[in-house]
Structures are given as C-alpha cells and as structure tokens.
Structure 1
Amino acid sequence: MPQTDLTLAECLALRPQLAEPTGLDAFWARTLREARAHAGAPRFTPVDTGLTRVTTYDVTVPGFAGEPVRGWLHLPTGVSGPLGCVVEFLGYGRGRGLPNEQVLWANAGYAHFIMDTRGQGWSAAPGDTPDTAALSGTVPGFLTRGVESPQEHYYRRVFTDAVRFVEAAREHPAVDPDRIVVTGHSQGGGIALAVAALTPGLAGVMPDAPFLCDIRRGATIAGAPPYTELAEYLSLHRDRAEQVFATLAHVDAAVLASRATAPALFSIAMMDDVCPPSTCFAAYHRYGGPKDLRVYEFNGHESGGAHHRREQLTWVRELLAGPHPDARTTPSAFRLA
C-alpha cells in the first residue's frame, strides 16, 4: 500500500481554500427547521440480545421529513444515569447490523446510540431505514443520488437524520445532554463532522479517516470507491461537473467543519486510497474548535483500528471528566501513532 497522495509534511502545511455556497447556513437552518416541524417522538423498544452487562433498545427517531430512522441504544446494565453518551454514525454501505455487535462504548460505561444509515442496511432486514427518495443518479452508490440539486441530494437527508438522532439522544433520561460525543469512521466520520457543525453544544467529536471532505479533490485522486462514483458519473455526464460540485459543496464536511466548535480527535491514515489523507487534512485544518490528531503513517483506510479505539477511550474519559487538556492549553495538537 504505497503513499499516493501528498506527503505528511505537505499535508500538515495544507491550507485549502474551499468555496462556500452562497446561503449555506440558511440552507441548513431551513432544512433542520422543516424536519423538526414534523410531529412524532423517538421510540425505544427493549431487545433481548443475550448480553447480561448491556441493555439494548431498538430505536426509531423521526428524521428528515419526519421519516423513521432506526438505530440501537446500548446502556451499561445497572449503571444509573444520566450518562455520558457516544452517538455513532456508520461507514459507507453499512447498516446498523445486529443488536449485539457493537457494545464497546456501553462496556466502557457510556450510553451508546448507533444510527442506521438510510438505504444502506441489509435489504432483507425488516429493521432497516429505507431511503424514500428515488435513485436519480446513473452510477451505483449513494454519492450521486440527487446530485443535480442540493435540495434533492442524498446527504441532505442523511445529515438531517443524524442531527435529529443527536437531539433524540439529548432527550433520553439516561443521557446527560451536556456530555454527548459524536463519532464515526469514513462516511460516519464525515457525518460526525457535519453534525458537529450543525449542532451547538456537543462535548466532542471523533472523526476517523473522514469521507465527504474536499469532495472535488477526492473525486480527482481517490483510487477506490466511493469517490470514484463521482468520476464515473462525470465521465458519462461531461457537461455537469460544475453543477455536481456546486451541489456537493452543501454537504462537504470540510466546508462545514469551520462552523464546529467542540473539541475534536481526528485520525488520518497516510496510505488511505479510499479517503486520501489530503482530503481529511482539509477538514482537520479548517475545523473551528480545539483539535487533536493521530496520524497512522503505514495504514490504509482501516486507519488506527483497535489501536485508535484505545486512544478514543482515553480521550473520551478525560473529556467527559472535565475540560479536555487540549481545549485548555492549545487550539490543536498532533502526533504520530
């Protein structure tokens, strides 16, 4: 897995000038206002997973246009709340899976919400979240869905679902609303960055190898999907490049990241051909709050894996115990892992 992008020194010096769409803040304020106007409360149904130390609930939250978004809530059994909470968003093509699969954060003593990503779960599973909009792109995948218009784009719906999921977590009696951290790997990392930009008052954000950052550059240099979906689409629709990237600028997590203020812990892998490191560094450098970074020089898209989970566990423990050291001492920090 050779390096195919900029060197680490070049990435650290990178300061991309990304164009922000006119009316971007109004676009998202209107989108979220419309979603909140739909009636309906989150539902939590107990699930028997066979686990004795974690209590799990099947979650349904009114998301974009009030449409039901599924997920899981894991709570440490026998621990009284309100608890610090980790809200997790998933990678590209991954649904929420089985209720017993992802219980790390509950075992660490936190409430753990996992959001199903609309349209990306198992097609035969009754608990999936469907995407209610028709497939408008001519290339398989989600990145080109509705790419002709910001109002119709797939990630407008997903980002709205994610904000509403965090709002549902804040309202849950087991959760301390002031101690919520959002996280995710790849697509989930891009969603977490967008949520951090669109949701004030978060305690922290942990984007790992984030997708949806500096999307135009990703479409130009990435060697593997999903960014290659855009290159394929534009190879067929040669006259639509400016229209496509004008749409995608509304959901570019590196553009939105400048609006986020919560402390952040990023991970970036220098041999990542799915989310090239320069695109991730674009989001890191533009991030508006205090930030810390772990760089994995010899890893691909898996980034830090279990090693980085350990870093996250330590970071969240310190963060939710009080003011994070990075937030008190320096606006940014970096080290190789």
Structure 2
Amino acid sequence: MNAFTKRKRELEQYAPAPTLDRNSIDTYWNNTLEAASKQPLSILREPQSPLFPSVRMDKLTYLGHDGTPINAWFLVPDKPNGSPKPPCVVMFPGYGGDRGLPERYAVWLLLGYAVLAVDARGQAGETGNLLPADAGSSKGWVTQNLLSKERSYYLALALDVVRAVEAAGQQPEIDASRIAAVGASQGGGMALLAGALSPQIKAVVADIPNLCHLDYGILHSTGSLSEIATYLKRHPDKLGQALESLAYFDIVNLAHRIQAPVLMSVGWKDTVCMPDTVYAAYNRLSCSKIIYDYPFSGHETSEEHHRKVIRFLQESFGE
C-alpha cells in the first residue's frame, strides 16, 4: 500500500463521535428556525448600471438575524418570454472576504443561472453587524459572544444564511425549486449550514469547508478558528462553555439534517480547513455525496476542480 492509498483510507475511516446528541441539536434548531421565520425579510432591490449584455444586476438587501441589513448582488440573465425560469446559485464568501464585484460570477451567468452573492456580516463587505457584544473578544469576528449559543456570531451568521436562501426563493425571476448553496472555506461551511437548516436547498457545494469538527480545528487550524484558540488562551476556564456552544454549529453534529446532494473538496496540505476536519463531517453525511481529494493542494481550489463543480450543479439541476 502506497502513502496515498494509506492516507485516503485513514481519512475515509475517520469518524469522531458527535459532540452533541441529535435530539438536543434538532430541538434547538427547530425552535430557533421557527422563531426566525416570524421576522420579516424586508427585501429591497436597487437596479445597477448594466455591465453584461442581457443580465439584470441589482443590489439586494435583506434583514438578517437581529435586523442587520445584509447586502448582496442579485444577478439574473434575461430569458425569452415563455422559457423556463433559471436556477439560482447562492454564493457565500470566505472569511474576511465579501461578495466582491458582480463579474466574479460571470461563469454562472454564462451557464444561464441566477446568482445571489451575499456578504458575511461585519467582514470586508458593505454589511455591518448589529449584534450586541456581551463581552470582549479576540481579533476577528468569530469569538463575539462565543460562550452563548443564543447570542453568538455563529448563530447570527447561520441565520443570515437561512434568510439568504429565503430571499433567493422569493425572487420571481428564478425557479425556487432549484437553489444551490455554494462556497469555499468559510463559504463552504455556510453552504453546509444552508443544506442543514434550509429545506429549499437543492444542492450544496462546499469546497475546503470550515465549521467542521470544530473542537479539532481549534487545536490545529491556522485560520479563523485560531482566533478562538487565542481567546481561550486568555480565558482557559471558558473552554467547556465554548465547546458546548460551538457544538450547535458544527457540521459533524448537523450532518444528519442535510438531505440535498453534496459536493466537497479537500486539500491534504491545508492547514486552515484540514483534511481530518473535512472528512469528519463528510463521513457523517447520509445524503448523496462526493468528495474530491487534492493531495498536493493547500487551502485552495483549481480550475480543474471548478469544472467538476459545474458538472455537479448541471446534474443536480436536471440539465
């Protein structure tokens, strides 16, 4: 057995136990989602100057958790009268990033898909963060109210994700039965949250995803989870509370809720979203799934992989 086969087998057999029982996490999320569904989205669309021929470009704003206005691009290709409505790809950004410029999504428009590309609250985009801080935090965003599952940044982010999918589904130009959640790194974790928490999702693309096997990630990751490690270095007595709260947002514990087909990718040299964390979540999925391994890649994806993503979505959308 060569080293590649051995490593692949180790990853396929890696199955850490959930850190929270299914009944507790389902009760929490069912109650949380029911309460959130009663809050208005208050969607606004502002037409933008055309950039692409035959593509409508709008700035779309919806109310996220706690009333924070979440900014997004809504891009939809023109269709001849009487033609089928297009599917919609909801795009989530990497950590510290934003939705960027509309041309970032040209490939999806060329495929005939609508796009809703959203900011992550408080990060590099136009979107702020109205979530009150109960106490201090370390640098970045993810340690805000870390110890409370009812008030944490991760809760706000997760509910913003759910409401993004709802906002997409309410746009009259799209086929609301064909909505995919797509992202990489933090965006991949957000896409998996969408699959776990929104029944409207038809397919999930989660490249090199975050939010998987969070307890392991806090110990080893060089990415956003290192902010939690920094916080706990200063407050070692809070470790138990932090792990208890984080368990409600860990894809390892939420995997059973994901029903839509999932595509994931993993770089074996990734020190941000490590292969052990990605496989810990992937191995718990019971839905239709596929994972692409890249033994020589770090925290990155390639053009060749993006072609696989396109094919996956075409198949998922019945094209």
Q: TM-score, normalised by structure 1?
A: 0.87
Check if 1:112 corresponds to 2:110.
Answer: no
| Structure 1 contact 35–63 (Cα < 8 Å) conserved | no
Secondary structure of residue in 2 paired with 1:29: helix
Secondary structure of residue in 2 paired with 1:289: coil
Structure 2 distance, partners of 1:114, 1:250, is 25
- Quote the residue 2:312 is aligned against: 315
Deviation for aligned residue 1:257: 1.7
Structure 1 distance, partners of 2:205, 2:189, is 10
Structure 2 distance, partners of 1:118, 1:13, is 36
Among 243, 265, 268, the residue aligned to 1:267: 265
Secondary structure of residue in 1 paired with 2:253: helix
Structure 2 distance, partners of 1:310, 1:217, is 31
Q: TM-score, normalised by structure 2?
A: 0.92
Structure 2 distance, partners of 1:40, 1:19, is 33
For 2:271, the aligned partner's letter is D
Compute the RMSD of aligned alpha carbons.
1.9
Residues 108-166 of structure 1: per-residue CA shift (max 9 Å, x gap)? 110111111100124xxxxx111112444431012211111111110101110111111
Deviation for aligned residue 1:291: 0.3
For 2:178, the aligned partner's letter is R
- Quote the residue 1:45 is aligned against: 46
- Quote the residue 1:235 is aligned against: 233
Structure 2 distance, partners of 1:106, 1:311, is 17
- Quote the residue 1:195 is aligned against: 194
Structure 2 distance, partners of 1:32, 1:64, is 11
Distance 1:264 1:247, change over 3 A: same
- Quote the residue 1:58 is aligned against: 59
Residues 277-323 of structure 1: per-residue CA shift (max 9 Å, x gap)? 10001111111311011111100001x3222211111111122126x
- Quote the residue 2:148 is aligned against: 149
| Structure 1 contact 89–189 (Cα < 8 Å) conserved | yes
After superposing the two structures, state which structure 1 stretch, 261-270 or 138-147, moved more.
138-147
Deviation for aligned residue 1:14: 0.8
Check if 1:30 corresponds to 2:28.
Answer: no
Structure 1 distance, partners of 2:66, 2:35, is 7
Structure 2 distance, partners of 1:292, 1:40, is 33
Structure 1 distance, partners of 2:271, 2:187, is 17
- Quote the residue 1:332 is aligned against: none
After superposing the two structures, state which structure 1 stretch, 31-40 or 42-51, moved more.
31-40
Deviation for aligned residue 1:53: 4.1
Secondary structure of residue in 2 paired with 1:23: helix
Structure 2 distance, partners of 1:55, 1:26, is 41
| Structure 1 contact 54–103 (Cα < 8 Å) conserved | no
Deviation for aligned residue 1:78: 4.0
Deviation for aligned residue 1:56: 1.2
Distance 1:81 1:173, change over 3 A: farther
Counterparts of residues 162-201 of structure 1 (less than 5 Å)? 162-201=161-200
Deviation for aligned residue 1:40: 4.5
User: Once the two structures are aligned, what percentage of the paired residues are identical?
Assistant: 34
For 1:67, the aligned partner's letter is T
- Quote the residue 2:78 is aligned against: 77
Structure 1 distance, partners of 2:104, 2:50, is 10
Structure 2 distance, partners of 1:163, 1:40, is 11
Residues 62-119 of structure 1: per-residue CA shift (max 9 Å, x gap)? 2213432110111123455511111111100012222333322112110111111100
Structure 2: tracts of 5 or more residues without a match = none
For 2:42, the aligned partner's letter is A
